[in-house]
């Protein structure tokens, strides 16, 4: 059973939440970061980039301690306040396309992560896990929830609907035109019902945030081992999560773009592709596949459709059937010589929420030579691979919703 509990969030005050909330640090360009740091003294970016105060880049342990200092300053200045009692937080995001996401911000169990009650579908990089674990240990808080998904639940849905009839604690719209609303759930009966419903679930799944959840688990192991009075109720036993029903989850593909043809001429490359795929030149008309095992390819100003030959590839596991894995095993590795999808600088990724023309533009501008598009991974594929204990290739999914940092904070 899943142990999903309420917690006492540290939150910005109502009048400042829109100023505090920030996207992940890496998602901003240098110019965007500079603008926000210069013009908005309340941005959460001031906490995660403490060196801005001294006009200096600071890294490692020194940066972690300064992050902690900036965070404490925000609390001392009453920009952040902590709730008096543990709550669940109903959180709604309506994006610029009017897609609505409803979920609950709560604390998920690190022990559930260990026991595979919280299931994973993506590989993580060990050194990144350790770096972020050390960061969490020093700063003492987590400001960006892991995105978890659970089977649609009528009782939880009704509670969310009931809570949303009241005035939201927060309501703000970002410059991306996403509207965010947050409600506190502090009624004892509702708290018990939500906790009970999650306890009835045998598994929930990580949708986005595999490194954050892995780092939180490592932190839990470290602090547990060093606490002789450990009782399982300490805050480090949990990590902040945003839980949404499976029907609300939106999964987009990541298209692949490659810088060269691995020494092959265009004709040699197409001949090798023909061994595994049926190929049709679609000319300059953009082509986007509509079925699994079909791909679009853009090369030298033309779009191509690629259909996997039934005799050209053997499927033995759920992972073997995944389009990103098929592309890797039939083209990227054997023909284009890309073995390390995480670190090879010859490959780039463009999320599929952008249209196929974004891939075309990256190639026409000369940054890449060839690109491949595919259909998104389904929730059923993602769950099956997680259930089978397998891991997708990196950048197999671009998942929405995307949350803002600093709206709710979980302290260890």
Tell me the pLDDT tens digit for each residue of 229-259: 999 999 999 999 999 999 999 999 999 999 9
Residues 292 and 183 in one domain: no
Are the CB atoms for 8 and 85 separated by under 8 Å?
Answer: yes
**Pair of tokens at residue 296:** 């679009």
The SS3 assignment for 167 reads coil
Clarify whether residues 19 and 123 are in a common domain.
Answer: yes
**Is 384 within the bounds of a domain?**
no
* 276 and 232 fall within a common domain: no
Does the residue 389 lie in any domain?
A: no
327 domain-assigned = yes
Tokens 């509702």 found at: 190
Tell me, yes or no, whether 329 and 223 share the same domain. no
> How do residues 251-266 score in pLDDT, each as one tens digit?
999 999 999 999 999 9
Q: 191 and 147: one domain?
A: yes
- 169 is written with which tokens? 């604690």
| E runs forming strands in 116-203 | 118-119, 141-142, 146-150, 170-173, 179-185
Q: Considering the domain boundaries, does residue 318 fall inside one?
A: yes
Sign of CA pseudo-dihedral 156, 162, 164, 169: negative
Same domain for 228 and 81?
yes
Helix (H) or strand (E) holding 101: strand 100-109
- Residue 387 within a domain: no
Tokens of 321: 């059937």
pLDDT of residue 106: 98
Residues 224 and 268 in one domain: no
CB distance 393 to 325 below 8 Å: yes
Residues of the chain with pLDDT under 50: none
On whether both 180 and 62 belong to a single domain, the answer is yes
Per the domain annotation, does 394 fall within a domain?
Answer: no
How many C-beta atoms surround the C-beta of residue 355 within 10 A? Answer: 13
- Our count of domains for the chain comes to 2
How many of the other CB atoms lie within 10 Å of CB of 80?
23
CATH number at residue 368: 3.30.1760
Q: What is the DSSP string of 5-35?
A: E-B--EEE-TTTHHHH-B--GGGS-HHHHHH
Residue 77 lies in a domain: yes
Same structural domain, 280 and 246:
no
Position 59 scores a pLDDT of 87
**Six-digit token pair at 374?**
């595919």
Q: Quick check: is 199 in a domain?
A: yes
- Six-digit token string for 49: 């980039």
Range of the domain at 307: 254-375
Is residue 244 domain-shared with residue 269, that is, in the same domain? no
* Preceding peptide of 401 cis, ω within 30°: yes
Return the CA Rg of the chain: 23
Same structural domain, 71 and 55: yes
pTM for this one?
A: 0.92
Do 245 and 258 reside in the same domain of the chain? no
């Amino acid at each position: 059973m899943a142990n999903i509990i309420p917690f006492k969030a540290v939150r910005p005050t109502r009048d400042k939440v829109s100023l505090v909330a920030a996207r992940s640090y890496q998602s901003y360009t240098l110019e965007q970061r500079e603008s926000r740091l210069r013009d908005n003294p309340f941005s959460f970016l001031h906490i995660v980039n403490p060196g801005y105060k001294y006009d200096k880049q600071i890294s490692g342990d020194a940066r972690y301690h300064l992050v902690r200092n900036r965070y404490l300053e925000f609390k001392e200045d009453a920009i952040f306040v902590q709730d008096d009692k543990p709550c669940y937080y109903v959180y709604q995001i309506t994006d610029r396309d009017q897609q609505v996401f409803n979920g609950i911000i709560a604390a998920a169990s690190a022990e559930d992560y260990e026991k595979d009650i919280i299931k994973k579908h993506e590989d993580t990089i060990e050194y990144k896990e350790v770096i972020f674990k050390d960061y969490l240990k020093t700063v003492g808080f987590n400001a960006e929830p892991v995105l978890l998904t659970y089977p649609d639940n009528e009782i939880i849905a009704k509670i969310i609907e009931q809570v949303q009839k009241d005035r939201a604690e927060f309501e703000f719209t970002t410059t991306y035109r996403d509207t965010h609303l947050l409600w506190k759930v502090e009624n004892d009966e509702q708290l018990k019902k939500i906790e009970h419903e999650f306890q009835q679930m045998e598994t929930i799944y990580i949708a986005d945030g595999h490194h954050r959840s892995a780092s939180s688990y490592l932190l839990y192991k470290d602090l547990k081992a060093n606490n002789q009075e450990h009782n399982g109720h300490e805050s480090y036993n949990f990590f902040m999560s945003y839980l949404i029903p499976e029907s609300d989850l939106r999964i987009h593909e990541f298209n692949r773009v490659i810088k060269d043809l691995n020494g092959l001429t265009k004709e040699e490359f197409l001949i090798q592709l023909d061994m595994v795929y049926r190929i049709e030149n679609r000319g300059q008309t953009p082509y986007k596949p509509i079925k699994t095992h079909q791909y679009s390819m853009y090369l030298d100003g033309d779009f191509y459709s690629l259909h996997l030959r039934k005799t050209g590839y053997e499927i033995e596991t759920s992972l073997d059937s995944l389009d990103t894995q098929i592309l890797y095993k039939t083209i990227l590795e054997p023909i284009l010589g890309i073995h390390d999808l995480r670190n090879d600088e010859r490959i780039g990724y463009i999320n599929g929420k952008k249209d196929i023309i974004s891939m075309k533009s990256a190639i026409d501008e000369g940054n890449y030579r060839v690109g491949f598009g595919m259909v998104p991974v389904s929730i059923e594929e993602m769950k099956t691979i997680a259930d089978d204990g397998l891991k997708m290739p990196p950048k197999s999914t671009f998942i929405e919703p995307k949350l803002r940092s600093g709206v709710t904070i979980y302290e260890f």
